[in-house]
Amino acid sequence: MKGNVRKTEKQPLGKRMAAGGKRFLKNVKRDKALLLIILPVVVHYLVFVYYPMYGNIIAFKKYSPVKGIMGSDWVGFRYFIQFFNSPYFTRVLKNTLLISVFSILWGFPIPILFALMTNDLKHGAYKRIVQAVSYIPYFISTVIICGMLVNFLSPSSGIINSVIKAFGGEPINFLMEPKWFRTVFIASGIWQGFGWSAIVYLAALTGVSQELYEAARVDGASKIQQVIHVSIPCILPTIIVTFIMQIGTLMSVGYEKIILLYNPVTLDVADVISSYTYRTGLVEGNYSFGSAVGLFNSAINLVLVIFANKLSRKVSEVSLW
C-alpha cells in the first residue's frame, strides 16, 4: 500500500488523474446499484435545498421583481440593520425565545413519557389504538386546529367555558387575555404533536434487548426501576439527538398558528419573529427584508445546534456528528 502511494506521487499529474479517474469509474461500475438508489435523494437536495439557497442573496440586495434576483442592486447589511433597529425587535425576539423555551420545557419530556408508558402496554390491539388516537391530531391542518381552538375557547359557546360555568366559575375569554396566550399556544401544540413525536422513541424502545429487562427482573428491579435503569439509558442517544435538533429550531416559531390565534390585545406576548416578518416581508412585499430576517434566524439556529452538539459530545459522548 505504502509503496503504491509513493509510486503514484512520482507519476506526472495527468497520469495520476487518469489513474484516479479509472479507479473512480471502476468504483462507479461496482456500486452502480447503490448509487442509483441514492440518486433521487441527491437530486432532491440539489434541486429543492441547495439550488434555492442562492435566493438568499436577496437578503443583501434591494430585490426588485422586475430586475430579478441577479439584477437587483446590492445594499449590504441594510435589511439586517433595519430589523435590529425596528421598534419591535426586542419584543419579537423575547416572545420567540419564551415560546420556544417553554415549548421545549413542557413539550419535550411528554412524548418520552408517553412512549415509555405505551411501550409497557401488553395488549396489542389496545396499544395500537392508543397510539393511533394520539397521533391523529398531527394530521389535522393548523388552520383547522386554530378554528377548533377558537370555538372551544369561546367565552359564550365554547366547551371549556361551558365546563367552567357548570362548575360555577366565571367564563374566561382565553384568546383575549395576554397571560393565557402562551399556555393555549403551547398546550395545543403539545396535544397536536406528542403522539407523533413519540413514534421515534417507541421505535428506539423496541430495539432494547429483552435480555436486559430479564436480567433486571432477576435482580429484583421493579417496573419503575426497569424504566429508569434499562429503558431510559437505552434510548438516551435518541433523546439527545432529538434534543439537539429541537435546539436548532429555537429561533423558529412558525407564523401560521401565531397569526391565526393572535389579536391586537395579545400582540404583546404573541408577536414573534416569523409573524412580524410575515407582516413586513410578505404582506407588504418587502422580500429582501423577509430573507434577511430568515437568514439571521438560520444563522443563530446553526450556531445553537453546533454549540449543543459540542456540549453533548463533551458531557455524554453522544452527538449528531
Partner 1 sequence: MKRNSWKKIVATASALALIMGCLTGCGGEEPKESSVQPSEQTSSQETSESTGSDSSAPSEEEPASAGITFPLAEQVELTIATPDGNVASLADNLPVWEEIQKRTNIKINWDVTASKQYVDVMKLRVGAGGGKLPDIMFLPNGLSLAELGGQGTILPLEEYIANSENIQKAYEQFPNVKALTSADGHIYSVNTLNESAYFAPYSFIIRKDWLDRLNLEVPETIDDWMTVLRAFRDQDANGNGDAGDEVPFSAGGHAWYTTYWANAWGLHLFQSDGWYPDENGQMQYEFISDEAKEFYTWLNAFYEEKLLDEEFLTLGDENKLYEKVSRDEVGAFTAYPSRIATLEAALEANGVEGAELIPVVPPKGPYAQMTEVVGDMTVNGYVVTSSCEHPDVAVALMDYMMSEEGKELMNFGIEGDTYVKENDGTYSFTEKVTANPDGLSASEVLSSYGCQLGLCYLKSDKREQAMLYSYPEELQQKIIDVTDATRPYMVAGMTLPPATEEESESISGLSGDLATYIWEMTGKFTVGTADIEAEWDSYVEYVKTLGVEKILAVKQAQYDRLTSQQ
Q: Which residues bind partner 1 (CB under 8 A)?
A: 62-68, 72-73, 82, 86-88, 141, 143-144, 146-148, 150-151, 154-156, 173, 175-176, 178, 256, 259-260, 263-265, 267-268, 271, 276, 279-280, 283-286, 289
Give the nearest distance from C-beta 162 to partner 1 in angstroms. Answer: 13
State phi, psi for 73 to the nearest 5 degrees. Answer: -80, 145
Q: Which is nearer to partner 1, 70 or 218 (CB)?
A: 70
Give the nearest distance from C-beta 155 to partner 1 in angstroms. Answer: 6
Question: What distance in Å separates the CA atoms of residue 208 and residue 213, rounded to the nearest whole number?
Answer: 9
Which among 139, 151, 105 has a CA at the least distance from the CA of 261?
151
Give the nearest distance from C-beta 262 to partner 1 in angstroms. Answer: 9
Q: Which residues contact 29 (CB under 8 A, 6 or more apart)?
A: none
Q: Which is nearer to partner 1, 151 or 316 (CB)?
A: 151
Q: Which is nearer to partner 1, 82 or 252 (CB)?
A: 82
Q: Which is nearer to partner 1, 149 or 240 (CB)?
A: 149
Q: Which is nearer to partner 1, 228 or 283 (CB)?
A: 283
> Which DSSP letter does residue 54 get?
G
Question: What distance in Å separates the CA atoms of residue 120 and residue 227, rounded to the nearest whole number?
Answer: 10
Give the nearest distance from C-beta 187 to partner 1 in angstroms. Answer: 17
Give the nearest distance from C-beta 26 to partner 1 in angstroms. Answer: 44
User: What single letter denotes the amino acid at residue 209?
Assistant: S
Alpha helices in the chain (DSSP H): 2-10, 13-30, 32-44, 51-53, 68-71, 78-85, 89-107, 109-119, 124-135, 142-153, 159-166, 178-206, 210-218, 223-226, 232-247, 255-261, 267-270, 273-277, 287-316
Question: What distance in Å separates the CA atoms of residue 35 and residue 20, rounded to the nearest whole number?
Answer: 18
**Matching residue, cell 437578503:** 59
Q: Which is nearer to partner 1, 4 or 157 (CB)?
A: 157
Q: Which three cell numbers stand for residue 24?
A: 473512480
Q: Which is nearer to partner 1, 219 or 284 (CB)?
A: 284
Question: What distance in Å separates the CA atoms of residue 20 and residue 7, rounded to the nearest whole number?
Answer: 13
Which among 246, 242, 254, 247 has a CA at the least distance from the CA of 294?
254
- At 248, is the secondary structure helix, strand, or coil? coil
Give the nearest distance from C-beta 179 to partner 1 in angstroms. Answer: 11
Give the nearest distance from C-beta 49 to partner 1 in angstroms. Answer: 21
Give the nearest distance from C-beta 100 to partner 1 in angstroms. Answer: 21
Q: Which is nearer to partner 1, 62 or 229 (CB)?
A: 62
